Amino acid sequence: MPPAESAPDLCDQARDLAENGHLKKAAKLYQQAVAANPRPGVQARALLGLAVVQDQRGDLAAAREAARRALATGDTRYAPRAAYHLALSLEQEGAHGEAARIWHRLLELGGPAYTAVARYGLAREAELRGEEAEAEEHWEAVLEPPPGDTGLSRLHAVTVVDAARDLAGRLLERGRPEAAAAAVERGLAAGEDPGLRLLRAAAHLERAIADAGAVVDPGPAEEGSGVRPEPHTSGAAVELLAGLMALRGEPDAAARVWRLGLDSGDRGASEAVRERLRRPFAQPPGQDGEQAPEPWWDVYLEEAVATASAPALAGELFAVITQMHSLLAVPVVEGEARPTVLRAAMEQALRTPSELVWGADVHADFRRRLSEAMGEDVLPEGWPEGR
């Protein structure tokens, strides 16, 4: 058995070995330091080091046993770290009851940083049990700044940021954007974090959805209660709300918003909505200063904008163009001169859009324009499929 006074050197050597990946040798030296039975502080250090190394080696039973022994020393420096390590290990294993007991033990050891760590752990355990009120009490305790001008240690700041991110996400899921935004601000006060900034943006998004929704659908107007929005305000609110719903990943909800605006009983409001829905559309030029008729494809563009499916529609169009181009290009490249082959390629290209939702309208538009030019409908029934 090594002498007690050699234990600190053994711990230093074991730490260096562990940092360089020699875990088995490091564990052996930590065990020798423990066996030397040094003073409590060194014993706690050796046991904690042994717990960490055994955990890295995958021997969870040995790691937890060492952590429990380190915790039992009550050492003010190493016992809290052992409790932290042990509780996290138990959480990951699913032993939540024992993990909660260790978190409570960590609370007793004191210190603002480890108190925050313990509260965070207890909040997670309460959430798992469905005790939302108890969990929120612990969350609030984690986010509470220390008294006076006391600065946060690195561990304390990281814990506050992590807890704020976790809590804000849960509050957003529960439909409480205001509380989520408050949690985010308290987290950002402890440290910069991209995840928190994204959650703040999400909270602002929910606020914007609520405000725009109150304009789009203010509910039944009661006599003398408030003012109905002007048409341009209604149109802007519908466009904004539909865009926000699409941004949230709810295209069906975005489509319902557009439909609600288009079907408004207020004609001025519905016209304002339709104008905004169609604003990005390209308008074909008219002839002799006359306004061109509405293109047949506008109804599909409206649907694509309303359902945030414009990329899908564009994909269909490019796929059809590519296929038609290929059908026509092959005989050209091959120098095909036989009329029957060329006609077959043209007919096949002509029928390319037929299987798509908007394909029938392509053929119907050509039939209409040809009929107007010739004064009568000269195409057979079912053209071009039934030619």
pLDDT for position 224 = 44
- With beta carbons less than 8 A apart as the criterion, state whether 29 and 14 touch: yes
pLDDT of residue 223 exceeding 50, the answer is: no
Q: Which tokens hold the place of 153?
A: 């240690």
Binned at pLDDT 50, 70 and 90, residue 385 comes out as confident
**CA distance linking residue 349 with residue 221, whole number of Å:** 56
**CA distance linking residue 382 with residue 161, whole number of Å:** 66
pLDDT for position 348 = 93
pLDDT digit string, tens, across residues 305-363: 988 889 999 999 999 999 999 999 999 999 999 999 999 999 999 999 999 999 999 99
Neighbours of 82 (CB within 10 A): 28
pLDDT for position 155 = 93
Spatial CA neighbour of 215 closest among 194, 237, 239, 245: 237
Query: Averaging pLDDT over each range in 78-92, 208-222, 276-290, which range is the top one?
Result: 78-92
pLDDT for position 286 = 59
**Terminal CA-CA length for the chain:** 100
What is the pLDDT averaged over residues 88-110? 92
Residue type, 330: V
Per the document, the length of the chain is 387
147 vs 68, which has greater pLDDT? 68
Sort residue 37 into left (φ over 0), alpha (ψ -120 to 50) or beta: left
- With beta carbons less than 8 A apart as the criterion, state whether 41 and 76 touch: no
- With beta carbons less than 8 A apart as the criterion, state whether 210 and 244 touch: no
**In the 8-state DSSP scheme, what is residue 290?**
P
pLDDT for position 291 = 63
Q: For the chain, give percent helix, strand, coil, nearest 5.
A: 75, 0, 25
DSSP H helices in 110-153 = 112-128, 132-143
Using the structure block, give the residue that is written with the tokens 């499929």: 385
Q: Which tokens hold the place of 228?
A: 């109905």
pLDDT digit string, tens, across residues 348-377: 999 999 999 999 999 999 999 999 999 998
Residue type, 3: P
pLDDT for position 65 = 94
- Return the percentage of the chain with pLDDT > 90, whole number: 72
Binned at pLDDT 50, 70 and 90, residue 67 comes out as very high
Binned at pLDDT 50, 70 and 90, residue 284 comes out as low
Sort residue 335 into left (φ over 0), alpha (ψ -120 to 50) or beta: left
- The C-alpha angle 168, 169, 172, rounded to 5 degrees, equals 85
Binned at pLDDT 50, 70 and 90, residue 264 comes out as confident
Residues 6+ apart with CB under 8 A from 65: none
Which pTM was predicted?
A: 0.75
Q: Which tokens hold the place of 14?
A: 């074991």
What is the pLDDT averaged over residues 70-83? 93
The topology under which CATH files domain 1-129 is: 1.25.40
Average pLDDT value for the chain:
90
Residue type, 117: V
pLDDT digit string, tens, across residues 170-219: 999 999 999 999 999 999 999 999 999 999 999 999 999 999 999 998 76
pLDDT for position 3 = 76
pLDDT of residue 107 exceeding 70, the answer is: yes
User: Residue 41 belongs to what H/E stretch?
Assistant: helix 40-57
**In the 8-state DSSP scheme, what is residue 352?**
G
Spatial CA neighbour of 26 closest among 1, 60, 51: 51
Sketch the domain layout of the chain as residue ranges: 1-129, 203-218+230-281+297-308, 313-387
